[in-house]
Amino acid sequence: MSSLDVDAIIAHADQYPKPAGVHFQYGTAGFRTRGDILESVVFRVGVLAALRSKKLDGKTIGVMITASHNPEHDNGVKLVDPRGEMLEAAWEIHATTLANAQTSQEFVQTVQTLISAANIDITKPANVVYARDTRPTGPALVAALELGLKAIGAQGRNEGVQTTPVLHYFVRCINSKGTKDSYGDDSVDGYMKKLSESFKSLVAGKTRPEPLIIDCANGVGAPTAEILVKYLGESIPLILHNTAISTKGALNYECGADYVKTQQRLPPSLNGVLKPGQRACSLDGDADRLIYYYLDERGHFHMLDGDKIAALVAAFIIDLVNLAGLSGDDFKVGVVQTAYANGSSTKYLADRMPVKCVPTGVKHLHHAAEHYSVGVYFEANGHGTVLFSPSAVEAMKSHKPSTPAQASALQHLINLTELINQTVGDALSDMLLVEVVLAHRSFTGAEWNSLYNDLPNRLVKVVVKDRNIFKTEDAERRLVSPVGLQEKVDELVRKYDGGRSFVRPSGTEDVVRVYAEATSRPQTDELALKVAQLVYDFTGGDPMKRPESL
């Protein structure tokens, strides 16, 4: 298109008027709210994705329609930049502005302002690849997106129902096709082969593990895992549970990674199924998070969360780097965490390697991890991956091992660069990574768990009148607003042995999150409840709805 067809955009936008009285915000992971009020937002995201593509000379931009761990009635949409990473932060504001334009005319004016402010050459091509998860509102939102793409004349490629990490993988593959950094084949077959072949090489000669149970959260991870099972063949026995993607209300309900992490218990559907000592893991609704767990001989539940995954994986990678003879000042392995990381995990890791704490959100962790040769990042909620910098990859390729042991460690590292989805957290790729380390270490779940002892911790959601008044600093560890609340939290925390607590507004749900840690379980729970009540009372919550228990 040689110039913006204002009339066409207005005519199309009129089909998706913005609901009155709602303010949309591009948050931690894009827009996320009730799926039935998101159509205007998704239409506009279609236009924005096309503008982003034009700005980047026609590079393919990804659009994922998902609300991940949220309840089934929610939905969401997020943009993926050309290397498969999250949308550049500066454009999040444009997304929010476009989504909140009150009328189609105002929307087009905002588009025009963006075009001139960002100096976008509208004559450039626009390419967008998109997918959705299994939510019932998904198809209507895809239709809205497609109309947005049509309104601005963008080329769209519909990848149907996919996990979030597969969509991120596609974006990187499409944009790197034919270059020396080609990331892989932009097809499900390409993704499956990359993961399964590197996995088989990494576990060659190792004992075949006992069957692993996967709780698929009744979401899109189920069909993707079903395909993966076929590609993995005999290399690892996988048993899929919670695969009911068409059962209404089943998505993330009493299952999935968020349920296990926040409830700190087994999904009820696995009661009597999971045997003591057997490994199991849960994916979330779009399969970008992973939590492991097992029952001990007494049937007690033990969780291996994102922190435990980071500890397992980072220590393994450091060993391989040392064994391969790669370690040195210009080859640094580091870990990135958030304030939610268990204090014990931070201590374990910091004794062994550099550790950085950043605000919640994969985009923050991802960027911080890029500063290391090998950057391992995991949020406690199970969202994470490992990044190998271009210079680290070069160093691995050009390194001449001097012993068979060095050669083998080097080959393992090279295989890991293939196994790990380096675009974003990927539950299935991470699961295979964990299985590789367990196989190499000959670890049971209990042995893995014993790397360090988690401090008891509790995460609570508090529904407040307006979460936007909550502002934080110091990687979200301290509140600056509402004024005076942090001092009161500090006062409470001082009363608990080893106490730590922080309060931050969620970027994906309309709640404020309270995290608490202390040296004993009862103290932790009491601290979490007291801070939650403090937050509620301080913001003038209805006394009748005050949280009285966890």
Q: Tell whether 97 is in a known binding site.
A: no
Contact flag: residue 509 with ligand G16 (CB under 6 A)? yes
For the question of residue 2 being annotated catalytic, the response is no
Q: Tell whether 379 is in a known binding site.
A: yes
Contact flag: residue 215 with ligand G16 (CB under 6 A)? no
Which of residues 33, 40, 60, 68 is near ligand G16 by CB under 6 A?
68
Binding piece for ligand G16, criterion CB under 6 A, among 108-116, 136-144, 269-277, 505-513: 505-513
Contact flag: residue 288 with ligand G16 (CB under 6 A)? yes
Residue 291 backbone dihedrals phi, psi, to 5 degrees = -130, 130
Of residues 309-338, which lie at the interface with ligand G16 (CB under 6 A)? none
Catalytic residue among 40, 68, 235, 501: 68
Q: Tell whether 505 is in a known binding site.
A: yes
Q: Tell whether 477 is in a known binding site.
A: no
CB of residue 284 to ligand G16, shortest distance in Å? 5
Spatial contact of 184 and 33, defined as CB atoms under 8 Å apart? no
Binding piece for ligand G16, criterion CB under 6 A, among 117-125, 306-314, 469-477, 506-514: 506-514
CA dihedral 343, 453, 356, 380 (to 10 degrees): -90
Contact flag: residue 513 with ligand G16 (CB under 6 A)? yes
In angstroms, rounded to a whole number, what is the distance separating the alpha carbons of residues 77 and 29?
8
Q: Which is nearer to ligand G16, 198 or 508 (CB)?
A: 508
Contact flag: residue 25 with ligand G16 (CB under 6 A)? no
CB of residue 28 to ligand G16, shortest distance in Å? 4
Q: Tell whether 81 is in a known binding site.
A: no
Let me know the angle formed at the C-alpha of 503 by 497 and 507, rounded to the nearest 5 degrees.
145
Per-residue tokens: 83: 């290397």
Which of residues 28, 75, 278, 486 is near ligand G16 by CB under 6 A?
28
DSSP secondary structure of 367-433: HHHTTSSEEEEE-TTSBEEEEE-HHHHHHHHH---SSHHHHHHHHHHHHHHHHS-TTS--HHHHHHH
In angstroms, rounded to a whole number, what is the distance separating the alpha carbons of residues 157 and 187?
12
Q: Which is nearer to ligand G16, 4 or 514 (CB)?
A: 514
Contact flag: residue 289 with ligand G16 (CB under 6 A)? yes
Contact flag: residue 423 with ligand G16 (CB under 6 A)? no
Q: Tell whether 361 is in a known binding site.
A: no
Contact flag: residue 200 with ligand G16 (CB under 6 A)? no
Of residues 356-395, which lie at the interface with ligand G16 (CB under 6 A)? 360-362, 379, 381, 383
In angstroms, rounded to a whole number, what is the distance separating the alpha carbons of residues 122 and 55?
8
Residue 237 backbone dihedrals phi, psi, to 5 degrees = -80, 125
In angstroms, rounded to a whole number, what is the distance separating the alpha carbons of residues 223 and 235?
19
Q: Tell whether 201 is in a known binding site.
A: no
Scan for tokens 């299952």, then name that residue. Answer: 255
Which of residues 4, 9, 13, 29 is near ligand G16 by CB under 6 A?
29
Which of residues 506, 510, 538, 547 is near ligand G16 by CB under 6 A?
506
Contact flag: residue 135 with ligand G16 (CB under 6 A)? no
In angstroms, rounded to a whole number, what is the distance separating the alpha carbons of residues 127 and 149?
9
Strands 212-215 and 238-241: parallel
Spatial contact of 107 and 98, defined as CB atoms under 8 Å apart? yes
Per-residue tokens: 80: 């993926």
Let me know the angle formed at the C-alpha of 349 by 295 and 221, rounded to the nearest 5 degrees.
50
Binding piece for ligand G16, criterion CB under 6 A, among 37-45, 196-204, 282-290, 467-475: 282-290
CB of residue 68 to ligand G16, shortest distance in Å? 3
In angstroms, rounded to a whole number, what is the distance separating the alpha carbons of residues 98 and 111?
7
Q: Tell whether 494 is in a known binding site.
A: no
Binding site for ligand G16 (CB under 6 A): 28-29, 68-69, 284, 288-289, 360-362, 379, 381, 383, 506-509, 513
> Active-site positions?
68
Please report, in range form, the residues annotated as the binding site.
Answer: 68, 284, 286, 288, 379-381, 504-508, 513
